[in-house]
Chain A
Amino acid sequence: MAVKTQPVTVNLGPQHPSTHGVFRMRVMFDGEEIVDVEPVFGYLHRGSEKLAEERTYTQIVTLTDRMDYVSSMLNNQAYILAVEKLAGIEPSPRGVWLRMIAGELQRIASHLVATGFLLQDLGALGTPLIYSMRERENILDLFEMLCGARITNSYLRPGGVFMDAPGEFWPALDRGLDDIVRSIDDLETYLSGNEIVFSRTKGTAVLPQELLINASITGPMLRASGVDWDLRHRAPYDYYDRISFERKLHTASDNYARYWVRVQEARESVNIIRQCIDQIEPGPVRPSFDDVPRLIRPPSGDAYAAIEGSKGELGFYLVSDGGIAPYRMHVRSSSLINLTLLRDMLIGGQFGDLFVTFGSVDLNMGEVDR
């Protein structure tokens, strides 16, 4: 005999360990099945775009650190590229190579965090998260050598970076890259072919390719559906046109595919960093203060620059009125836009898959709310 159920609405978050920060959703369940989802944003809204209107172009770098706080270097990079485009600044080659190395290290760190927490959400308490956090810790130590900070780096400046890497950075980076590869091997040995991971992630929250493109979803989520779209390859910025790397694609477009693409991209980032190390040459890390002063006044106009961030297309739209602060700054936040299909992914699914699906989107509340 079938047992009758009555739909019940449950409030999840904003204070909940599996909501990756302060995300909140109202979920209506019918038994174990999800019938409706309403995401509620804004618990981490700090008005960064408004704050930027009262700061100089160099000061805003610190605001971008605090958007997606697990990929600060990439935020810096996207913002600096927009400033350089707006003000017509020619960056110093060594600074560009250094910021590419920093950006790729940050991508590995971000993908490891996404993977570790996804497995944590699956119920694998502790081990996978500690494996990935251990490697991230090494990357943060490398950042500390580069700029003295671990999370909120503010390493980049218009035209390059603010200081050169110390001598001990290079051997440490070399060792670190070997460790990262070994650690990803370890992680994959017991996860990528794991029967429990398969049964929990394969075939859940499948999204068709056309729908993903229509909903402006980019990054690993789009590549997990087989679309070969990576801005480092399709619209190369910095010196990515001098780097050859493989784009890792999966066609299943389910939670497993999204996990798999991230792990493979972290491997590929190691290759990119090795190529950067081979090509970097001595020289200044940023133009002199005569060429690019601390207080820049870009000519009136607007500029949009986007990079392949760890979560997808991360863009900055800047409008200048010729003053020392931007007239308007807008952040094209991949974390927020990647949530557009959250309802499509969750409705009709089971309660047990809710946080797995949510974790596979890989969002960061600092960037969702800004």
Chain B
Amino acid sequence: MTTPWSGSTLAKAIEAFAPGSVESSAGADVWVKPDSISTVCEGLKSRPEFKFDLLSSLTAVDYIDHFEVVYHLTSLPMNASAVLKAKVGRGRTEASVPSVVPIWRGADYQEREVWDLMGIRFEGHPNHKRIMLWEGYPGHPLRKDYVTYDQSITLSIPDDATEKLGGDE
């Protein structure tokens, strides 16, 4: 059975090799400062006590006053899992976080997807382009303030529509 690292234990273990990089921890999650994400991930991948060699999932959530990038890590040799989070774009200003593609190539398409749909930049990504939508698409649809339809189009129903439908009473 895969053993999940608890947030507080992992936070202590991260602080041991990268002092000052952890913001907080709760449950199974550790919040890491966005600037130190590369150092932390590099350590989690290569250090013998972690060996997180597989990046299971990378995604992001829009919490309105900030965005959260979520990393789900798996260690095949230790059969362990961990959750890293990074709060970016506080106050909805320029949201960006260092790319982890140099550490795990599996982040390539996942980071492009987050950029495309959530609008978070990944500094140092080798091919920082949209993936699902085309270049020039307005906005990032998974953001909470994205308007899902063109509000300049108003729906109008002709006055005689009901009359036509219920004609033969």
Contact = CB atoms under 8 A, between A and B. Distances in A.
Interface stretch (A56-64, A152-160, A169-177, A211-219): A211-219
Nearest to A341: B105
Interface string A160-203: 00000000000000000000000000000000000000000000
Interface string B100-119: 00001111111001000100
A227 B77 CA distance: 10
A271 B160 CA distance: 64
Interface stretch (A11-19, A140-148, A331-339, A347-355): A331-339
Nearest to B133: A42
B134 A227 contact: no
B61 A327 contact: yes
B55 to A, nearest CB: 5
A364 to B, nearest CB: 15
A330 B132 CA distance: 14
Contacts of B2: 234-235
B76 A315 contact: no
A50 B142 contact: yes
A131 interface: no
Given A319-B61, A327-B61, A214 B104 contact: yes
A313 interface: yes
A263 to B, nearest CB: 24
Nearest to A47: B141
Given A41-B132, A234-B79, A332-B57, A337 B105 contact: no
B76 A216 contact: no
B42 interface: no
A46 to B, nearest CB: 10
Given A45-B132, A216-B54, A337-B109, A236 B70 contact: no
Most chain A Cβ neighbours within 10 Å, of B79, B104, B106, B117: B106
A42 B131 contact: yes
Interface string A99-122: 000000000000000000000000
Given A304-B57, A315-B57, A317-B70, A337 B62 contact: no
A304 B72 contact: yes
Interface string B50-64: 000111110101100
A362 interface: no
B97 interface: no
Contacts, number: 87
Contacts of A337: 106, 109-110
B142 A214 contact: no
Nearest to A235: B2
Contacts of B109: 336-337, 339-340
Contacts of A47: 141
B53 A330 contact: no
Nearest to B103: A214
A266 interface: no
B54 A213 contact: yes
Contacts of B120: none
Interface in A342-370: 369-370
A330 B59 contact: yes
Given A330-B59, A332-B56, A42 B106 contact: no
A165 to B, nearest CB: 29
Nearest to A369: B132
B148 A315 contact: no
A49 interface: yes
B156 to A, nearest CB: 24
A310 B106 CA distance: 19
Interface in B2-33: 2
A236 B76 CA distance: 15
Contacts of B157: none
Given A41-B131, A216-B56, A236 B61 contact: no
A306 interface: yes
23 contacts: A41-B132, A47-B141, A49-B142, A50-B141, A213-B53, A213-B54, A213-B76, A215-B104, A216-B104, A216-B110, A218-B54, A227-B76, A229-B76, A302-B61, A304-B57, A306-B56, A317-B57, A317-B59, A317-B72, A319-B61, A327-B61, A330-B59, A341-B105
Query: A-B pairs with the 10 shortest C-beta distances?
Result: A216-B106, A235-B2, A332-B57, A330-B59, A42-B132, A45-B132, A215-B105, A328-B61, A215-B106, A213-B53
Given A41-B131, A49-B117, 6 more contacts: A216-B104, A217-B106, A235-B2, A319-B61, A332-B57, A336-B113
